[in-house]
Structure 1
Amino acid sequence: MDTESLRWFEMVADGATVTEVAELEMRSQPGVSRALARLEEEVGAELFQRSGRLLSLTPAGAAFHRHVGAALHRLDDGIAAVQQLVSPETGTVSLAFQASLGTWLVPDLIGSFRTRFPEVRFDLRSKPDEHASAVGARSPVDLELSTLHVIEDGVEWRPLVREPIRLLLPQGHPLSDRRRVGIAEVAEDSFITLWRASLLRSQLDQLCARAGFEARVALVADDLPTLRGYVASGLGVAIIPARWDAGAIEPSSPRVHYLELSDPDAERTVGLSWNDHRRRLPAAELFREHVLTRAETGRLPRPVPIR
């Protein structure tokens, strides 16, 4: 059904003459009349009855009018929603990210982007399973920030920054006055880890295996703040991503000590992923370019050095 005819029907039903509609819409009067006649044929009933130059609604027209207005309002709302999505400056970007990146990288990238495009909105999704890609062929996610290097058909991945892995010790630990150690030096300690679906847990297992031992896990934490709290309470040691110079978002405590790890694989690469088989809306493409440019020009946060 022609939405233009529906809009003309609503104008006439609200009291406008066919001549007034034709002048307002810059159409011929016979053209408007023919459109209304076609609408009556599609509905299957006479919608108007003529009284001189004026048209008034028939009972069928009145019943139809009660629904046309609501339908056109819904249609206009839908068009506005689509325009908001596809407009580069007012659209929405769907971004999945590894939870540990939410304290420094995600705020930096979104904050710097919104200085140029303040009306762009973000649909932020923390990844529950860090071993699975969030930008698969059927996923609604536009972009993903993760230390998982995805090798999957259609998925593109670009490295952004290397993230050092530190050893976290409680106050009073025999090694706490050191600046740099190998993970083998804490082989006899109890470890605090994250859940098994986390990439940091996998990296702990790999580092310990290369050093010739298996970590003795004392406690499993749901997130990094909880892990820090367990270590600060003297319940064990842990590996943890480095703190970043992104303001005071990531807390430090005098009850824990960060040490550099001398092991060659004590780092991970943070990258940006997207699916090239799916068309990205303009706002998502602008954000993708912003992230890559910020990385290429060295404007991402830097890890806090060990003192």
Structure 2
Amino acid sequence: MDLQVLRWFQAVADGATVTETAQRAHITQPALSRALGRLEREVGTPLFTRAGRALRLTPAGRVFKHTLDQTLDRYDVGLRAVAELVDPDRGVVPLAFLHTLGTWLVPPLISGFRGAHPMVRFELRQHGEAGILQSLLDGVVDLILTSGNPGHPQVRWHRLLVEPLRLAVPSAHRLSHRKRIRLSEVAEEPFILLRSGYGLRTLTEELCRQAGFAPRVTFEGEEVETLRGLVAAGLGVALLPPPHAVLSTLDAVTAPITPAHHLEVTDVDATREIGLAWLADRSLPSSSHAFHQHVLAAGPTLVPAAYRTSRR
């Protein structure tokens, strides 16, 4: 089987159209269709069925793709391992992380690592917990920085630190003069939450449940800083990581409204664990292994002392 044809099959099976795949491959659409036809004859059964203008995998196609994804992933890992063996200073580290970690944790981790490995490249992806976990399971990335142990049997996770959550309230809110608050005190307030599928959304709902109520959701978003801005605009309250110094400075200069106030929560354990995860049964290429070791050593030292926790 032609390796390139297998990659074309994978692209179409993942949802790309034949036209899009042919354009990316710089071949004609009929040529790609013929190549996929040859692949089906080699496999011995149809792999696609047509649904309107789209192609859908047959049951045999789904089985074939599952095995092919694993095979191509191992092949690509092998290529990277050989390339890094030949030139260990020019590897690639595919990394995915939560949006909220991109402003304070990820930059110094990468900067500190590249001080010793200046030629290593990073392929970075941002998403919520579900998205970055899927990227890891699919072999798209080698490592993920996420909130809480994913609890997946194929994944190993190491806690780096515990990050406190604060109740963000508008500057004109009746409680904004306070430093501490019981979460139960805002049971009747409108809440601004991340969309379903984000770990902070699940954690917020659980903490509210522990405090004796279900949050009344008025707005949903996909970025913590968007939620913080909506709170500052007076549209509700939210449980959020505290703003970091860099963001606070920028907010003071550019924000058209008074920033939100962030209050310590005292009646529930309003914290979340931040950690590094990788696949348990997959050997990391040398560059990713070196970054893995760097994160385990440097991660807990890059945050204020109040955030730190003992390693497990």
TM-score when normalising by structure 2: 0.65
Q: How does 1:188-267 map to 2 (within 5 A)?
A: 188-245=188-245, 251=251, 254-267=258-271
RMSD of equivalent CA atoms: 2.7
Letter in 2 for 1:286: A
Deviation for aligned residue 1:261 = 0.9
Aligned partner (choices 264, 277, 283) of residue 279 of structure 1: 283
Residue by residue, what CA displacement relative to the aligned partner does 1:33-72 show, whole Å, maximum 9, x if unpaired? xxxxxxxxxxxxxxxxxxxxxxxxxxxxxxxxxxxxxxxx
Deviation for aligned residue 1:188 = 1.2
2-structure distance, mates of 1:190, 1:303 = 33
1-structure distance, mates of 2:277, 2:306 = 26
Q: How does 1:102-181 map to 2 (within 5 A)?
A: 102-130=102-130, 133-134=133-134, 136-181=136-181
- The DSSP-based 3-state class of the residue aligned with 1:234 is coil
2-structure distance, mates of 1:232, 1:195 = 19
Cα distance, 1:239–1:226 mapped onto 2, change above 3 Å? same
Give the conservation status (yes or no) of the 8 Å contact 1:104–1:249.
Answer: no
Deviation for aligned residue 1:248 = 6.1
- The DSSP-based 3-state class of the residue aligned with 1:213 is coil
Letter in 1 for 2:304: R
1-structure distance, mates of 2:202, 2:139 = 25
Cα distance, 1:236–1:138 mapped onto 2, change above 3 Å? closer
Match for residue 29 of structure 1? none
- The DSSP-based 3-state class of the residue aligned with 1:103 is coil
Give the conservation status (yes or no) of the 8 Å contact 1:131–1:199.
Answer: no
Give the conservation status (yes or no) of the 8 Å contact 1:169–1:231.
Answer: yes
Give the conservation status (yes or no) of the 8 Å contact 2:98–2:127.
Answer: yes
Give the conservation status (yes or no) of the 8 Å contact 1:91–1:119.
Answer: yes
Residues 1:302 and 2:304 aligned together:
yes
Match for residue 97 of structure 1? 97
Cα distance, 1:248–1:88 mapped onto 2, change above 3 Å? farther
Letter in 2 for 1:301: V
Q: How does 1:28-107 map to 2 (within 5 A)?
A: 83=83, 87-107=87-107
- The DSSP-based 3-state class of the residue aligned with 1:269 is strand
- The DSSP-based 3-state class of the residue aligned with 1:151 is coil
1-structure distance, mates of 2:126, 2:160 = 19
Q: Where do 5+ consecutive residues of structure 1 fail to align?
A: 1-78
TM-score when normalising by structure 1: 0.66
Match for residue 187 of structure 2? 187
2-structure distance, mates of 1:196, 1:143 = 23
2-structure distance, mates of 1:80, 1:281 = 7
Give the conservation status (yes or no) of the 8 Å contact 1:94–1:143.
Answer: yes
- The DSSP-based 3-state class of the residue aligned with 2:101 is helix
Cα distance, 1:260–1:131 mapped onto 2, change above 3 Å? farther
Letter in 1 for 2:264: E
1-structure distance, mates of 2:306, 2:177 = 18
Cα distance, 1:85–1:110 mapped onto 2, change above 3 Å? farther
Match for residue 52 of structure 2? none
Deviation for aligned residue 1:260 = 0.8
Question: Sequence identity, in percent?
Answer: 39
Residue by residue, what CA displacement relative to the aligned partner does 1:95-130 show, whole Å, maximum 9, x if unpaired? 111111111111121111111111111111112453
Q: Where do 5+ consecutive residues of structure 2 fail to align?
A: 1-78, 308-312
1-structure distance, mates of 2:110, 2:132 = 23
Larger Rg: 1
Cα distance, 1:238–1:248 mapped onto 2, change above 3 Å? closer
Cα distance, 1:120–1:180 mapped onto 2, change above 3 Å? same
Letter in 1 for 2:232: A
Cα distance, 1:172–1:80 mapped onto 2, change above 3 Å? closer
- The DSSP-based 3-state class of the residue aligned with 2:96 is strand
Letter in 2 for 1:274: W
Whichever structure has more helix as a proportion of its residues is 2
